[in-house]
Amino acid sequence: MSAEDQIKQTITTNDVVLFMKGTKSMPQCGFSSRVAGVLNYMGVEFADVNVLADENLRQGVKDFSDWPTIPQLYVKGEFVGGCDIITEMTLSGELDTLFSENGVTYDKDAADKIREANA
C-alpha cells in the first residue's frame, strides 16, 4: 500500500488522527507532545500515527497535506493544521467548535481550563 493510500485509509476510518513524531503516550518531539497533550487532556479519542516508524509515511503526509511540518491533525478526513494552528484554535475556542460541529466527543471543562491557564 502506498503512503497516500495508507493516509487516506487512516483519515477516513478514524474521526480524529494525529500524525506525529512518537506516540500519544510517548511523544518524541515537543510540538507533537503539545498537540497530543491537548487532545489527551480534552479527552478526545484519536488515532496516533508515528511518522518516525516509516520514512515514506513521514514524507507522504507532508506531500498529502501540502504542509511541511509534523505534527498534523485531521478531523473527519480534513486537514486542520499543525502545532501552532492547533494551539491558537484551542485558546480561541475554535477547536471546541470544530469538534462539536463534527460530532467529536471532548471535555468542554478541560478545554475551558486550558484557556483559563493561558489567559
- CATH number at 70 reads 3.40.30.10
Confirm whether residue 29 is marked as ligand binding.
yes
Domain that holds residue 93: 3-117
What is the distance between the alpha carbons of residues 36 and 4, in angstroms, rounded to a whole number? 23
The pLDDT mean for the chain works out to 96
Domain count within the chain: 1
pLDDT band at 1 (very low <50, low <70, confident <90, very high): confident
Taking 90 as the threshold, does the pLDDT of residue 23 lie above it?
Answer: yes
Query: 43 near 95, Cβ under 8 Å?
Result: no
7 φ, ψ (degrees, to nearest 5): -65, -50
Neighbour-count burial of 38, counting CB atoms closer than 10 A to its CB (0-12 exposed, 13-18 middle, 19+ buried): buried
pTM of the entire predicted model: 0.96
- Which of 103, 96, 92 is closest to 39 using CA atoms? 96
Look at residue 48 in the predicted model and tell me its pLDDT.
98
Does the pLDDT of residue 119 top 90, yes or no? no
Residue 91 clears pLDDT 90, i.e. is over it: yes
Q: pLDDT digits over 41-88, tens only?
A: 999 999 999 999 999 999 999 999 999 999 999 999 999 999 999 999
